[in-house]
Chain A
Amino acid sequence: MKRRAVITGIGLVTPLGIGKEENWQQLIAGRSGIEKVERLIARGVSTVIGGEVKNFKASDFIKDRKTIKLSLHNVHLAIVAAQLAVKDAGVQVEKVNPAMFGCFIGSGGGGYEDGPGVPDLAEPLLKSWSEEKGKFDPVKFGTNGIAGIYPLFLLKTLPNNAFYYISLAYNIQGENDNIIASFTGGSQAIGDAARAIRRGTTDIAIAGGYDSLLLPATLFSFDTLKLLTQNPKPREACRPFDVQRDGMVLSEGAGMVVIEELSHAQKRGAPIYAEILGYGNSSSAHHLYHPCPVGSGISIALKKSLRDAEIEASAIDYINADGIATVASDRAETRAIKEVCGTHAHRIPVSSTKSMMGHLGTAAGAVELIICALALQENMIPPTINYETPDPECGLDYVPNQARATQLQTTLSINQGLGGQCTCLVIKKVS
């Protein structure tokens, strides 16, 4: 019999809240989680609006102090999201066969926070400036720097830290991937987890992504590349598909799901949100940070996910778009949806929840898939907020400003990242 992969647990840590209830209430109320970020103002960064996870204290969730000390803020978000997902799924870890328990994590690569490894590296680096040469001097670093560096520095900066701590916490010894991507890592992880389950190498897995883009260097870079909004009003700043949109808002967060083989979930009477039906992954092979104008990567991924799900575009009831709110990207995405869905494109509601939570980086794909799952469960579509004036080149139904109650069977989530990586995931209610 064909093996099916279903979502049985959800963990969300986003600017809209910690946990699925808080997040869902904000999402259907159309409330923005974007604010002025105090911790950035204090650091003299000129771009200071963003989606910060509020009231987050790692020690409320993570009891081991060494774990907190040896990992960075973004990893803490990931560990908490995994905790929430495992709790939500009601998994009794000791009853799971460790060799069939998988872990698939998408990571932004993050070995740096507010500068590479600060404060461990700060002192030694600052001691290595050469006045006479007017630049950083590796010779001085050799004499003054290297000996003074915290010996476990390397451990803190490993890009698979979140994977390590999560697999340790739940004794996961089965198939695993730590996927590095700029923004698509979370959805790639979930897609690969579902495949591993369908192919029979895994019965149950934790999968998702995490990131924090609220770092001075990242904000500086995105701003200089003209990818960020210049809108000073935080709540109105992120305007996907609106004609006045002018760029992204950066955020932080984590989204994790528990995915199980259907009979494994049924045997233990687990709640089932949805089945992961199709996954498509492609590359637009166009430019490092400009989207391909015709959206070729997105259309390839879209077609692949529909083929994988063995459904037609007409079966899609809702699309959670990438919708990052730059002029070029929203247009390209709209074109790809129109190309693949044809005459159905105008009938399918498309919304960008980034309008409320901003861009969660490598967590975005996972978090937005979770939103699709919650939408299926509640038969309710979260809106695109700040949508006031349609852009004639983006002529779809973007579910403006108000959540919409409607029967949903099948939903689709689109994500793309810097460098042109694209993913699509299709999920369906389990009847």
Chain B
Amino acid sequence: MTGLGLISPLGLTLEDNWNSLIKGTSGINFISSFDCSSWKVKIAGEVKNFDARFLPGKKKSIKLMNRDSQLAVAATHLALENSRLNREEIDPAAIGIAFGALGVQYTLEEAYTVTYNALGKQLTWLDRSREPKCLNPIWPLTILPNMSLCHVAITHDIQGPNIAFCSLTTSGAQAVGEAFKYIQYGEADIFLAGGCSSLNPSYLFSLFSSGLLSVEQHNPRTACRPFDEERNGFAMGEGAAVVILEELTHAQKRNAPTYAEVIGYGATMQGRTLLYEKELLEARVEGIAACVEEAIAHAKIDPQDIDYLNAEGNATPLSDWVETEAIKKVFGRYASQLSISSTKATMGHLLSASGPAEVIIGTLAIRDGIIPPTINYQHPDPYCDLDYTPNYSKEKEVEVVLSLSLGLNGENVALLIRKFS
């Protein structure tokens, strides 16, 4: 890993993000981007002071991007700068790109327009005189989930292998894992891997309808309480995270900053935690455990080698418990000695950007020997009784980090990174 770029509700630079994380300063607040006064969900993590006008690339193409893509292009820019890659020396076809996206990104206004036209039948589709109820012609091109990848490729001239994943919350972590495999198989020397997601009201209401979001009305900063007995869901966040993976000899040849090494990747799909179905929950515990074991076997290390686990910890009652059970299953007695934290409490759930964002957090934990805390942890849950690094960051030598991402439908992704020496 030779470059990191992160934009989140905690800030627009890597160090701003890291400082807020270790201080435990929450980025969750009341939603300001649209009027949600009548909605039950009122809080989220919004990226503030992000001005798309300053993005690299042509002004015209910035207009073709939705907010997801804008965040992705910006985070990629940061990661590339961070990696000190001299682009003039590198063949654009030797750089690949793997990106995780949320899904089709239409706004409710656009959905209204499409619905109105599809059902109302008063308008023909091509009647441009009847705006504003007429659709923006490039609409279908702005909602597609692979467009963030395409915009990153176009803006940053990336011509190598490319692949977009779409599995909601795990897609970013999958992109990092698959990019790691691509490098191992020699498909490219460098891979940009990451994810992006924006605070789109149509997802806000979908996630709310599925019962996953905290409906805290008064204190946004303390709303998201992973592993706390009174947890009641997460706060949707937005942001983009990109890591630059580079083949070791390639990185060494150019004296690149080497943050850490990706050493293991596991992905499974089994069981689900959306509903209270006992058999499915048991299957999910097994699925998560199998995923972590796959990554550990892949990395050829022992479970005890892991110093820090950046957990999914999405603060929904079932998922945190299932995750804790799976950790106990894999680590046995060592589970209670393992430092665990969920940084979602501080930055919100970045959904498809959460995987790469948490890989970056793990990398910085290795760099500085500091484990960021799980904030808002007040009431220990007897069923979740591990060391979640409550409220205050902890200084500790960190060699190996496990980053775990769990999807809503049974998808699990585990990534292992190690201090480079």
Contacts and interface: CB of A to CB of B under 8 A. Distances in A.
A19 interface: no
Nearest to B178: A177
A135 B113 CA distance: 10
Summarize B's interface: helix, strand, loop or mixed. Answer: mixed
Contacts, number: 236
Nearest to B201: A138
Interface string A149-189: 10101100111100000000000000011111110000010
A179 B164 contact: yes
Contacts of B168: 158
B249 interface: no
Interface residues of A, number: 78
Given A182-B146, A217-B140, A419-B153, A283 B160 contact: yes
A314 B185 CA distance: 27
A312 to B, nearest CB: 20
Contacts of A188: 163
Contacts of A117: 111
A297 B153 CA distance: 11
Given A107-B166, A122-B119, A181-B164, A138 B34 contact: yes
B72 interface: no
A126 B109 CA distance: 10
A116 interface: yes
B138 A221 contact: yes
A214 B119 CA distance: 16
User: Looking at chain B, what size class is its interface with the partner chain?
Assistant: 35 or more
A219 interface: yes
B334 interface: no
Given A115-B115, A135-B132, A220-B126, A146 B39 contact: yes
B36 interface: yes
Interface in B140-163: 140-141, 143-147, 149-151, 153-154, 156-163
A25 interface: no
Nearest to A181: B146
Interface stretch (B204-212, B323-331, B377-385): B204-212
A220 B115 contact: no
Nearest to A280: B161
Interface string A191-225: 01001000100000000000000001111111111
Q: Which 9 residue pairs of A and B lie closest in terms of their CB atoms, listed nearest first?
A: A419-B150, A224-B137, A142-B38, A115-B114, A142-B39, A111-B104, A220-B125, A115-B118, A136-B112
17 contacts: A43-B121, A44-B123, A111-B104, A136-B113, A138-B35, A143-B38, A180-B164, A199-B185, A216-B114, A217-B114, A224-B138, A225-B138, A285-B154, A285-B156, A287-B154, A300-B159, A300-B160
Given A117-B111, A142-B36, 11 more contacts: A115-B119, A142-B38, A146-B208, A182-B144, A217-B117, A220-B126, A285-B154, A285-B159, A288-B61, A419-B144, A419-B147
Interface of A: 43-47, 107-112, 114-119, 121-122, 125-126, 128-129, 135-143, 146, 149, 151, 153-154, 157-160, 176-182, 188, 192, 195, 199, 216-225, 281-289, 296-297, 300, 418-421
